[in-house]
Amino acid sequence: MSNLEPEQVNQAESAPSSPENAPESPEKKEESALYYTKWQQRMMKKGYVVTPKVKKPAKQNAIEWIATLVGALLLVLLLKAFVGSPVVVDGNSMYPTLHNGEIMIMSKLHYGTSYLFNQPIVLGGEPERFDVVVCRYPDRGSTNFVKRVVGLPGDTVQISGGYLYVNGVKYTEKFLSARMYSDYGPYIVPEGHYFLMGDNRNNSHDSRAEDVNAIPIENVLGKARCRIWPLDRGGSIY
Which active-site residues does the annotation give? 93, 147
The Cα–Cα gap between 88 and 227 comes to 10
The Cα–Cα gap between 106 and 109 comes to 9
The Cα–Cα gap between 93 and 204 comes to 5
Other C-beta atoms within 10 Å of 83: how many? 15
Residues 6+ apart with CB under 8 A from 41: none
216 HSE (CA, 13 A, CB side): 8
